[in-house]
Amino acid sequence: MTKVPYIGITDFTKYDQVLKMLEVFNSSRRFGLFRRLHVGVMMSYKTLNGLETQWSSIFPKKEEISGIFSSDSPRVMNCLHFADYENNPNLAETLCRAIGYGGMGVNALQLDMIWPEPAEISNAVHGSRKRLEVILQVGRDAFDQVGDDPAALVERLEDYAEVVDFVLLDKSGGKGLGMNGLKMIPFVRAIKENFPDLGIAVAGGLGPDTMYLAEPLIKEFPDISLDAQGRLRPSGDAHDPIDWHMAKKYPIKALKMFQRASMFKR
């Protein structure tokens, strides 16, 4: 079954931001498309455990996350992004604790990690007793470990096909580094051919002024999902707050691009 695609924004910190962006999505029905608003909220191993990190004052406090995930709209994908690139132990237990801070509203979990153990992911999701869509981020280090090769990526994903719902291809790591859409096509094509039921998302420098980066992918794969983070602020630095005036323009431009691609594919 094909997963319902989304347009993501990462770094929500307040519920009123969700409401404002949901207004944009609700008005987007004129495009004749159904895309979910992916509400991305960041947490890391360190912020979960109260350890000092440069993100402590930027990510929302863990006790505030459930409030951000207050929307029960079917157009909203309340996604907790859990970052841990150091392969800390007891992953299943750690993820269960993290998911708990998502409250009743959390319905998706993104793993910003380097090839985490599939069994631990499965144990965490089952242990949380929540219905969660799981997104596996394949970042720069994960790409490096498969030699930046589509065939090797597909082979590595074999272990995750029954565990995750989406794969996010993202070499930017939230730093606003622009993707090369043409070079990403062979990876998306290989995943689609081998795992037709797996949703695919891309990220890397996307924002209201850089949607052209994703255009080659959208033209060929109009059911692909997107996520944006760094380029939703003028500085391009994820340490700064999102500029929500910029953020509103991004999904509108993306939806127009998807609309053109869908018409072309008919």
Distances (CA, A) of 130 to 89, 100, 223: 22, 9, 26
Q: Give buried/exposed letters for 143-173 (b at 16+ CB in 10 A, else e).
A: beebeeebeebbeebeebeebbebbbbbbbb
**pLDDT reported for residue 266:** 53
Which residues make beta-bridge pairs with 36? 6
Within a domain: residue 210? yes
Q: What is residue 263's DSSP assignment?
A: H
**pLDDT tens, per residue, the chain with 266 residues:** 468 999 999 999 999 999 999 998 887 666 667 789 999 999 999 999 999 999 988 999 999 999 999 999 988 999 999 999 998 999 999 999 999 999 999 999 999 999 999 999 999 999 998 999 999 999 999 999 999 999 999 999 999 999 999 999 998 765 657 899 999 999 999 999 999 999 999 999 999 999 999 999 999 999 999 999 999 999 988 889 999 999 999 999 999 899 888 776 65
* Identity at 215, one-letter amino acid code: E
Distances (CA, A) of 92 to 99, 100, 173: 10, 12, 23
Within a domain: residue 1? no
In 146-229, DSSP assigns E strands to 166-170, 199-203, 225-228
Specify the residue for token string 């081998």.
194
**pLDDT reported for residue 31:** 65
Distances (CA, A) of 255 to 7, 36, 79, 233, 240: 9, 11, 20, 20, 26
- As for how many domains the chain has, the answer is 1
Within a domain: residue 68? yes
Q: State how far the Cα of 44 lies from the Cα of 37, in Å rounded to an integer.
A: 22
117 is in which domain, residue-wise? 6-265
Predicted TM-score (pTM) above 0.85: yes
Within a domain: residue 235? yes
Q: What is the CATH number of the domain that holds 224?
A: 3.20.20.70
Q: Give buried/exposed letters for 220-253 (b at 16+ CB in 10 A, else e).
A: bbbbbbbbbbbbbbeebebeeebeeebbbbbbbb
Q: State how far the Cα of 169 lies from the Cα of 140, in Å rounded to an integer.
A: 9
**pLDDT reported for residue 30:** 65
**Torsions phi, psi of 240, nearest 5?**
-95, 155
